[in-house]
Structure 1
Amino acid sequence: MSALQQFAGRRILFLNWRDLANPAAGGAETYAEQIARRFAAVGAKVTMFTSEFEDAPSHDWANHYLVVRDGGRFGVYLKAARHLRRYGGRYDAVVDFQNGIPFFAPFWAPGGTAIVCVVHHVHQEQFDMYFRWPLNRLGRFLEGPATRRVYGERPVVAVSPSTRIAIRRQLRLRGPIYVVPNGLEPLPPSRVPRSPAPSIAVVTRLVPHKRLDLLVGAVPSLLRRMPDLRVTIGGTGPMRDALLAQVRELGLETVITLPGRVSDQAKSDLLASAWLTAVPSVAEGWGLTVLEANMFGTPAVAYDVPGLRDSIRDRQTGWLVPPSADLASVLASALAELADPTRRSCLAEECRRWAGMFSWDSSAERLASVLLSEIMHRELRWPMQRAVDLTTVASWPPDQVDDDLERRLRKGLRVTDTITRRPDGGLSVLLVGCDEVDAVTTLRRAGVSPGRLHLATSPVVLCGSDWVDH
C-alpha cells in the first residue's frame, strides 16, 4: 500500500493563502490543489481553508474536497487560526502552505497534531518589492524568527533544493527538510508547428518579482539583430498595465503581444510554436512555467537564481546566466543557437525527457510519505533524528537484484525513502536525510548489504530516481 493510500478515511486540513479558483492564483495554488485532489481521490477527507474573493461561495465542493473561504488577503490568517482553535481536534494532520508567511498552525492546533509546512520560496529579499516600512520588516520577522520559534524541529517540505538551502541559510529552520517538487499536468496537444521565425513566449503571473519588464526592455536590441522576432507574454496580474505601457512607450505594439489570461489550448500553442521562453525572475521556488515549456520541447533562458537553477539544466534544457548578464545579449545568443535545426532538435528532445520526469501523482505520494512519517512520529513518540540535508543513493546491478532484496528493503526502510526498479533491471534506493555513513547503518538495520553508494545530485533529488543522470 502506498503512503497516499494510507490516508483513506483520514481528515486532512490544507491551509493555503488562495485556492486555484481565485483570479490571483498562481503556481502555489496549482501545487496545493493538485496535491489535495490526489489525497481526496484515495478517500482522504480533505478541507482546504483559504481566503475569500469577490462572488466566491464561502463553501465549495467543486473539486471533490471541501474548500472553506473566509477572510481577505491578511484576514485569512486570523480566520484560519480561529478555525484551528475550534475544529483542530477533528483533523488527523495539517499541511500549512507558506506563501511569504505561514499560518503558524503549531501555535493554534491541538498539541500532538501532525503538521508539515510547505515552502515554495523564501521571500526575505522580496518583501521590499511589495511593502513599505514597517510591513516589510514585519514580513521578514514573521517568515524568519517567528516561523523558527513556532515550528521548532517540525518537518518542512521545500519544492526545490534551492528553496531548501534558502530555508536553512536565511530562515535557519532546524527541522528536517524534504524536497517535493511541482508535478506537471499534461496540457492539450498543440495544434500549430514551431514558428519559422524567432519567437519568445512566456505564460505566467504578471507580478513584480518576475521582472518581465527586463524582457520587454531587451526587445529593441534584439530587433536590430532579428527584425522578424515576435514576443508573447500571456497571463494576468498587477504588472500587466505597466508592461502594456512600456510596450507602447517603446513602440513595440506590433512585436510584443499581451493577450491576458489564456486557455490551456492557447498556452499549448504559444509554448509549442515558440523557439524559447524567458524567465528573468529575481528568484523562484521552482519554475513551473519552465517545465510547461519543456513539455513542448521549448528551452528556457533564466538567471542563475534559486529555483530556476533547479528547473533548468544548463545547456541541456536551457541556459542559466549570471544575474549581472545582459538579457538582450543572452537571448540573442540562445536564439542564434536555436537557428541550427540539429541543435534545436537535441535541446527539444532533452527538454521533453526532463519534463517527463515530473508528475503530480509522484509529488502527492512524496508529500504523503512526509506527512505519514510525521503522523507515525507523533503517534508512536519516536525520537527526532538529526536533520541532514543530504540524500544518498544505494544501487545494485541486475545480477544482485531479486525479490528477497526488494522485500527486505520495503520492510526495513523508512516511508520517506524511495525504492526504484531501474530500466536496466537494477535497483536503486534514495535514502533521504542520510549521508553515506547513515546510509550504511540504515541498510544494515534492514538486513541488506550496502550496494554502491553515492550522494544524490540535485536532479536526482528532484526526480526521486537516479536514472535521470543516465
Structure 2
Amino acid sequence: MAPRATVAVAYDCLFPYSTGGGERQYRAFADAIGTAGLDVDYLTSVQWDGPVPAEERFRIVPVSARLSLYTADGVRRIPAALRYAAGLFRELRRRRSRYAAVIVSGLPIFNVFAARLALWGSGTRLVVDYLEVWHRRQWVEYSGAVTGTIAWILQRAAIAMTPLATCHSQLSASRLRREGLRSSPLVSPGLIDAAVETPPTTPASRPPYVLYAGRHIPDKRVETLPAAVAEARTAIPDLRLVILGTGPSTPQVRAEVDRVGGAEWTEFPGFVSDAELDTLLHGALCLINPSRREGYGLVVVEANAHGTPVVLVADEGNAATELVDDGVNGIVAPRTSPTDLARAIRAVADGGDDLRRSARAWYDTAVGTRTIRRTVEGILSALQLPTSPAPRIMKEDTP
C-alpha cells in the first residue's frame, strides 16, 4: 500500500490557543485535510504552556518560540513575523522531502518567501492562501509611508512568485490579478464550518441589543457604534449595545460611550467563552461590524447560523459585504455615520422575526455549498493529491 501523503499547514497562530478569523480558518483546514485521509502537520509558534498539545486530526509542529505578534496599536510586529518566517524556513528546509504539499498563509508576507526558498527544487507543491490582499494605500495607512510602501513591494514580489494562490472573495481575486499574480487564483466557495450545530431560530431577546464581537483596532471602527445606537434609541428606546473584545481602540470606544451618555445601556464583557458568544449571538437583534476591511466575512456566517441578521458597512476593502443579500440576511450601510448605521439597525428591527427566519434560511442554503470541506476539496483536487476519508488520531511526530 502506498504511504499516506503528508500536507503541512503553516500559520503563526492556532485556535483555540489564540483567537481570530485566520486561526479558526487554518485549524479548520487542518481538520478537513486530516478527515480527507492525509497526514497533516500544523507548523506554528508556541502558544501554550507545557508539552505540545495533541490534536485528533493533525499534528502540531512548533517552528518558533512564543511570539508577541502585535504592537500596542494593534499592528503586526515585524520582528515577530520575521522570527516565525525564519523558523518556518528552517523546518521546511529540514523536512523538504516529507511533504507532498505545503499550504502557507500569505499574511504575514514573509511566510511566502520562507516557504518558497525552503522548498525550491524539492518537488513539494506550494499553495499560498491570501486572507486579504491590500493595495498600496492600505499598507501606508496601516504601517506608515516607508514601512507600508516596502510591505506593498514585498507583497507584489510574493504574489509574483506564488505558484498556486487561493483566496476567499472576488475582491481578493481581482486584487491578486491586479498586483501581479501570473496564474488564475483558486477562489473558494466559502469557509463555513458545517460541523457547528446551532439551535432553532428564536425572536431577539428583550430588551433588544446590538452586538459587536472582535478586536478593538482602528480598522474595525468600533468607536462609531455608541453614537449610532444612541440615534437608533430614538425609535427603539430600550435598545442596548454589547461590545465584546478589547484592544488599543478600547479607550476611544469608552470615551464615545461617555460622550453620548451611553453608560447605562452599554456593556463591555471583554472576551467571552465560545458558549457565552453563542448565547449572545443567538439573542442579539443584530451583529454589527463597521469594519473597513474583511478578507471573507466569517461574522456574517456565524451570526446567520443563529438566525441573527448582520449590519455591515460598504467599503472597498470589505469583502464580507459579498455575503450579504440586503434585506435577506442583513443590511449594508453606505457609511459609518450615526444616521446611516442607525437606519440599518432600525431596518433590522422592522424586519423582525421574518428577517431572522430568512437569515437562518440563507445559512441553511450556504452550509451545503460554502463550506471549509468544499474549499479543501478544491485545493486538494488542484494539487492532485489522493484522498480517502480515513480520520484517525495523530500520534507522536516521527522525523
Band the TM-score falls in, shorter-chain normalisation: 0.7 to 0.9
Instruction: Between 237-246 and 187-196, report the one with greater CA deviation.
Output: 187-196
Deviations 1:156-185 (A, max 9, x none): 11112222122222x221212122221135
Within-5 A mapping of 1:2-401: 9-23=4-18, 25-53=19-47, 55-57=48-50, 59-69=52-62, 70-71=64-65, 72=67, 73-74=80-81, 75-101=83-109, 103-104=111-112, 105-111=115-121, 112-124=123-135, 125-144=137-156, 146-151=157-162, 154-169=163-178, 171-180=179-188, 181-184=190-193, 185-186=195-196, 188-189=198-199, 194-305=204-315, 306-322=318-334, 325-340=335-350, 343-356=351-364, 357-358=366-367, 362-375=371-384
Distance 2:320 2:360 in 1: 17
Residue 388 of structure 1 is matched in structure 2 by none
Which is higher, the Rg of structure 1 or of structure 2?
A: 1
List alignment gaps of at least 5 residues for structure 2.
Answer: 68-79, 388-399
Alignment partner of 2:61: what SS? strand
Distance 1:346 1:10 in 2: 48
Residue 405 of structure 1 is matched in structure 2 by none
Shift of 1:98: 1.6
Instruction: Between 226-235 and 31-40, report the one with greater CA deviation.
Output: 226-235
Alignment partner of 2:294: what SS? coil
Shift of 1:47: 0.8
**Contact 2:211 / 2:242 at 8 angstroms: preserved in 1?**
yes
Distance 1:41 1:339 in 2: 41
Distance 2:3 2:198 in 1: 31
Residue 399 of structure 1 is matched in structure 2 by none
Distance 1:349 1:253 in 2: 32
Higher relative CO (CA 8 A, sep ≥ 6), structure 1 or 2? 2
Shift of 1:133: 4.5
Deviations 1:405-437 (A, max 9, x none): xxxxxxxxxx9xxxxxxxxxxxxxxxxxxxxxx
Shift of 1:375: 4.2
Decide whether aligned partners of structure 1 residues 267 and 191 sit closer, same or farther in structure 2, where only a CA change above 3 A counts. farther
Shift of 1:212: 1.0
**Contact 2:216 / 2:246 at 8 angstroms: preserved in 1?**
yes
List alignment gaps of at least 5 residues for structure 1.
Answer: 1-6, 380-414, 416-470
Deviations 1:238-296 (A, max 9, x none): 43344334434544222111211122222222122221221111111111112111112
**Contact 1:188 / 1:265 at 8 angstroms: preserved in 2?**
no
Alignment partner of 2:128: what SS? strand
Q: TM-score, structure 1 length as denominator?
A: 0.70
Within-5 A mapping of 1:419-434: none
Shift of 1:134: 3.1
Amino acid at match of 1:132: G
Residue identity over aligned pairs, in percent, reads 25
Alignment partner of 1:90: what SS? coil
